C-alpha cells in the first residue's frame, strides 16, 4: 500500500475513534443539553474531517494534476464509494451529516436537543395496560434529535450510520488501487 495512503487511513481511523467517543458521550448523557450539543458538534467535526483527509490524500498524491482534474477524481471516487459501499440509510446519513456540517460552518450552529416522550404500555394487540385502579401504565423515552431544515432527525440513527459510513470509507481506501489511477 502507498505510504501516503496508509498515513491518511490512520488519520481517518483517529477521526473515526473521535466520532465514536462523541456518540458514546451523547448516549451516556441523554439528559444533559450541554454535553449532547458539545458532543454532536464534535461528532460533526470528526465525521467531516474523515472525508477531508481522503480529499487531502488526493491533493497530495496527484499534485502534478490540474486542480480541476483532481476535483473530478475526488468526485468520481466519492461517487464510486457511495454507490458501491453504502446502503440507502448510510448514504442518507452521509449526505445529511455533510449538509449539517456545511450549514453549521457557513450559516449557523446545528443544534442537537432531547425530548422526553411518554408512551402507554400496551399489549401485543395495542390495548393499553392498566393497573388495579384503572390507571393506564405509562413509560417514557428520552429521544435525542437534531432539528435541521424543519425536520427532526434522531441523532442515534444518523450517528450510527455515519460511523458505519466512515468504517466503510476506510475499507474502500484499503482496497484502493492507486497504481491504476496513473494509467
In a domain, 146, yes or no: no
Beta strands in 29-179 (DSSP E): 112-120, 138-148, 151-154
Residues 94, 161, 4, 183: is their CA dihedral positive or negative? negative
148: left (phi over 0), alpha (psi -120 to 50) or beta: beta
- Cβ neighbours around 157 below 10 Å, total: 14
| Angle formed by the axes of helices 67-85 and 155-174, nearest 10° | 110
Residue 17 has pLDDT above 90, yes or no: yes
For 81-97, give one letter per residue: b (16+ CB within 10 A) or e.
Answer: bbeebbeeebbebbebb
pLDDT tens string 45-99: 999 988 888 888 888 888 899 999 999 988 898 899 999 999 999 999 999 999 9
In a domain, 21, yes or no: yes
Percent residues over pLDDT 70 in the chain? 96
In a domain, 75, yes or no: yes
In a domain, 126, yes or no: no
Percent residues over pLDDT 90 in the chain? 44
Q: Range of 47's domain?
A: 3-112+153-181
pLDDT tens string 123-155: 898 888 888 888 888 877 778 888 888 899 999
In a domain, 138, yes or no: no
Q: What is the total count of domains within the chain?
A: 1
The single-letter DSSP state of residue 122 is B
| Alpha-carbon dihedral 162, 164, 168, 171, rounded to 10 degrees | 130
Amino acid at each position: 500500500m502507498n505510504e501516503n495512503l496508509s498515513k491518511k487511513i490512520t488519520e481517518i481511523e483517529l477521526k473515526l475513534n473521535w466520532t465514536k467517543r462523541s456518540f458514546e458521550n451523547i448516549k451516556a448523557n441523554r439528559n444533559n443539553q450541554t454535553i449532547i450539543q458539545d458532543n454532536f458538534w464534535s461528532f460533526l467535526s470528526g465525521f467531516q474531517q474523515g472525508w477531508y483527509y481522503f480529499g487531502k490524500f488526493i491533493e497530495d498524491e496527484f499534485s502534478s494534476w490540474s486542480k480541476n482534474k483532481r476535483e473530478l477524481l475526488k468526485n468520481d471516487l466519492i461517487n464510486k464509494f457511495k454507490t458501491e459501499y453504502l446502503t440507502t440509510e448510510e448514504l442518507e446519513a452521509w449526505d445529511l451529516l455533510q449538509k449539517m456540517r456545511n450549514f453549521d460552518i457557513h450559516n449557523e450552529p446545528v443544534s442537537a436537543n432531547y425530548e422526553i416522550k411518554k408512551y402507554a404500555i400496551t399489549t401485543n394487540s395495542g390495548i393499553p395496560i392498566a393497573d388495579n385502579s384503572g390507571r393506564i401504565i405509562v413509560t417514557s423515552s428520552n429521544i435525542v434529535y437534531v432539528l435541521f431544515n424543519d425536520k427532526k432527525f434522531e441523532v442515534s440513527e444518523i450517528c450510527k450510520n455515519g460511523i458505519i459510513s466512515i468504517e466503510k470509507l476506510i475499507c474502500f481506501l484499503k482496497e484502493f488501487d492507486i497504481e491504476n489511477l496513473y494509467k
